[in-house]
Amino acid sequence: MLSSLRCGLLFASLLFAVAVQAQQAPTSPTHHLMPVPTTANWGAARLPLRSTFTYIITADTQPDTVVAAAARRLQGRLLRRLGPARPAAKTTPSKAAPTLSIRYGKPGRMDNGDEERYALRVTPMGISLTAPTSLGVLRGLATVEQLVAKEKNALYFPEVDIQDQPRFGWRGLLIDAARHFMPVPVIKRNLDAMAAVKLNVLHWHLSDDQGFRVESQRLPRLAQVGGEGQFYTQAQVREVQRYAAARGIRVVPEFDMPGHATAWLAAYPELASNDSTYGVAPRWGVLNIAMDPTRETTYTLIDTLLGEMTQLFSDPYFHIGGDENDGRQWLRNPRIVQFIKEQKLVKSNGQPDKHALQTYFNRRILAMLTKYNKKMIGWDEILRPGLPESAVIQSWRGKKGLYDAVKANHPAILSNGYYIDLNYSAANHYAVDPLPADAPLTDAQKKLVLGGEATMWAEFADSVIVDSRIWPRTAAIAERFWSPATVTNVPDMYRRLAIVSAQLERLGVQHRSAPELLLRQLAAGQPVAPLRTFASVLEPVKEYKRHFQGMKYTTQTLLNRLVDAAPAESDAAREFGEAVDALLAQLGTAPTSPLPAEALPALAAVRAPLIQWQANDVKLQPLFNTSASLREYGPLSARLSALSTLALERLQLLEQGQTPTAAWKTNAQQQLEAAKAPAGQTELAVLPALQRLLNGLP
Ligand code: ACM
């Protein structure tokens, strides 16, 4: 877990960890930190967190205002953790030495590629944070906040010596504000969360078939018509960029083209590749509606927009999308086919090449962006012969896109494996490495891998529940982007993820409170606890199966059903699975009576939730009977109860040293199979563990 340069020190720190286990809260050499730092050597001493916490800042050259602001925010949050103000301390802060001493070289700028490394030392005398740039200070302050531990109601910083720097310079989160509009407060609180886990790029997906979300003064219909009134004003865009910059986060805008652009066509029909007129799309999916890349008027309009947007957005990178356009509208238009032939955009067999036409389009856009001093990024579909090397490729369809891109000398970013909208587990994303040891790349090619991005596509996330679809899982991805590749311990990741989740809640992220509010609305005045218990073992169906579960979603569909309150990853299911595996590990292959004594705690840990789930269905019946919205989930609740009953019976047989009859086993298998059917676009997240339990006991 720790990649310490000095084995002796690592050994010493492990000894410390063992020695202090009995007395202090964090018992792992990773403590509460996420992402894990490059090296950390822990001591046994402590620095108490007191209401006299102060800081001093020294800049070797000119000061950067973001440092003072970040230190003040940190101080405020630390003092809030101490609870209500106490009587004034005896030592006045002016006389006492500052608790935290910050020193840095120069102002750092993310868009300059400045360093983010820092060194941090905590002793009983105080904290020293040094960094070459202000960016390093911001990262170090995030670590200081996470260091705080608690014992017997006393907060303290553990003694430690940290040297830390990111593994990748590009550590992003995409927020899709096009499918569901995400008002500025949503973006800001997610920026706070990103800063807490050292993410540094907000990829702001600002236009798609379902909406164009930025005010354009030159082309006002884009937001007014294409955004249907829900868009960011230019003042708000500037405000978000300031807020992000103050946290060391860059903002990369994406305007998706030539596909995923129906909202543009609704505003400016002359962009279309046929004679149809379009409204802003109310439905989801790959619509294969594209701009006409053959008309000069298309480029005039895009140039007008880019001229304005490249001024509005200060980051040197600018994302043009470029994904999921199959070119069918182009090939159906004789005028466009004629253009393709005139431009010799044909395959070796002479047939029109729609990909070559898109590359023609991409090159025209790249020329504009170059004129405006921007570097172009696009999804991996834009990687075709003829694309200039300066274009950055964001790979979403597979690792191959990433490797192909860097082999062709393009800088590249990995998003495949980090699609958090698919509702996979944190462990699943955590296992994906942008540059695994076996990557078939040269050192020069490896250097072109800039990093990665988690993607929060928002077909099934509105501004209310989006936090719960991003966090806490994205903190595990942030660790993959920042920490050494050797940091791969999954149980320890989950231990820290729970701590970070609580930290994010203190920061104002609503990943826990919004689903809870939804549950209370659904309970409509009846006790919410049984519904909470039930929701906690559900997950939305994975991938994009929600589209195919008998319900037609549009942009108008409210996301306020039980599926929207269900966690993307069920903690209860994971914990139950761990308990089941611990129990199975304690047992032999043949039944014994009595059970080995060491298996009894594991048995109790498995039994307790089963008893709760068994009894829960009856408690939910009044809700299922009165709520039309909840009724569709009734069958799943009944199945959970029945399976819990079976599992409890099975545990009883186990204790009696008996095995079930063949008929019992057949019935159990049938019930397990039946419980696989989703209801209300959710599935029982505890099912795999129940299956392991019922099939795995001796
Ligand atoms: C994408 O998911 N279409 C980039």
Q: What is the pLDDT of residues 543-574, one digit of tens each?
A: 999 999 889 999 999 999 999 999 999 999 99
Number of CB atoms found within 10 A of residue 209's CB = 29
**Predicted pLDDT of residue 15:** 35
> Over 14-62, what HEC string results?
HHHHHHHCCCCCCCCCCCCCCCCCCEEEEEEEEEECCCCCCEEEEECCC
CA of 457 to the centre of ligand 1 (A): 8
Residues 6+ apart with CB under 8 A from 430: 476, 477, 479, 480, 488, 490, 493
**Predicted pLDDT of residue 87:** 55
- Is residue 212 helix, strand or coil? strand
**Predicted pLDDT of residue 531:** 98
Q: Is the CB of 323 under 6 A from ligand 1?
A: yes
Rounded to 5°, the CA angle 609-572-631 comes to 85
Instruction: Judge if 39-164 and 170-501 fold alike in CATH terms.
Output: no
| Catalytic one of 164, 228, 324, 433 | 324
Task: Mark whether 208 is an active-site residue.
Answer: yes
- Tell me if the bond preceding 472 is cis, omega within 30° of 0: yes
Top pLDDT among 93 and 124 is at 124
**Predicted pLDDT of residue 110:** 84
Task: Mark whether 260 is an active-site residue.
Answer: yes
Residues 6+ apart with CB under 8 A from 170: 200, 201, 413, 450, 451, 452, 453, 481
How would you label 603-636 residue by residue, b for 16+ Cβ within 10 Å and e otherwise?
A: bebbbebbeebbebbebbeebbeebeebebbbeb
CA of 539 to the centre of ligand 1 (A): 23
Judged by phi (left if over 0) then psi (alpha if -120 to 50, else beta), residue 7 lies in: alpha
CA of 286 to the centre of ligand 1 (A): 10
- Is residue 351 helix, strand or coil? coil
Rounded to 5°, the CA angle 569-574-577 comes to 150
**Predicted pLDDT of residue 588:** 87
Q: What is the DSSP string of 265-292?
A: HHH-GGGBSSS---PPP-B-S-----B-
pLDDT interval class at 513 (50, 70, 90) = very high
User: 170-501: which CATH topology?
Assistant: TIM Barrel (3.20.20)
212-241: pLDDT as tens digits: 999 999 999 999 999 999 999 999 999 999
Q: Kindly list the domain boundaries of the chain, sorted by start residue.
A: 39-164, 170-501, 515-696
Please report the atom of ligand 1 found closest to the CA of residue 396.
4
CATH 3.40.50.2300 fits 39-164, yes or no: no
Whether 438 has a pLDDT exceeding 50, the answer reads: yes
Compute the distance between CA of residue 250 and CA of residue 241 in angstroms, rounded to an integer: 7
| Catalytic one of 260, 410, 429, 511 | 260
Q: Do the Cβ atoms of 399 and 414 come closer than 8 Å?
A: yes
142-163: pLDDT as tens digits: 999 999 999 998 999 999 999 9
Q: Do the Cβ atoms of 59 and 171 come closer than 8 Å?
A: no
- Is residue 185 helix, strand or coil? helix
Compute the distance between CA of residue 591 and CA of residue 584 in angstroms, rounded to an integer: 12
Please report the atom of ligand 1 found closest to the CA of residue 260.
3
Q: Which helix (H) or strand (E) holds 123?
A: strand 118-123
Q: Do the Cβ atoms of 257 and 264 come closer than 8 Å?
A: yes
18-50: pLDDT as tens digits: 333 333 455 688 999 999 999 999 999 999 999
- Is residue 211 helix, strand or coil? strand
Please give the structure tokens belonging to residue 123: 């002793």
345-381: pLDDT as tens digits: 999 999 999 999 999 999 999 999 999 999 999 999 9
**Predicted pLDDT of residue 24:** 43
How would you label 368-395 residue by residue, b for 16+ Cβ within 10 Å and e otherwise?
A: bbeeeebbbbbbbbbbeeebeeebbbbb
CA of 252 to the centre of ligand 1 (A): 16
Q: Is the CB of 192 under 6 A from ligand 1?
A: no
Q: Is the CB of 278 under 6 A from ligand 1?
A: no
Q: Is 52 exposed, middle or buried (0-12, 13-18, 19+ CB in 10 A)?
A: middle
pLDDT above 90 covers a percentage of the chain that reads: 92
Q: What is the chain's Cα-based Rg?
A: 28
635-688: pLDDT as tens digits: 999 999 999 999 999 999 999 999 999 999 999 999 999 999 999 999 999 999
The residue whose C-alpha atom lies closest to atom 3 belonging to ligand 1 is: 323
Cα dihedral 643, 644, 647, 653 sign: negative
Q: What is the DSSP string of 124-161?
A: TTEEEEEEEEHHHHHHHHHHHHHH-EEETTEEEEEEEE
CA of 396 to the centre of ligand 1 (A): 6
Residue at token pair 């209860």: 572
Q: Do the Cβ atoms of 431 and 467 come closer than 8 Å?
A: no
pLDDT interval class at 92 (50, 70, 90) = low
Average pLDDT, the chain: 94
Q: Is the CB of 379 under 6 A from ligand 1?
A: yes
Q: How far is CA 272 from the centre of its chain?
A: 34
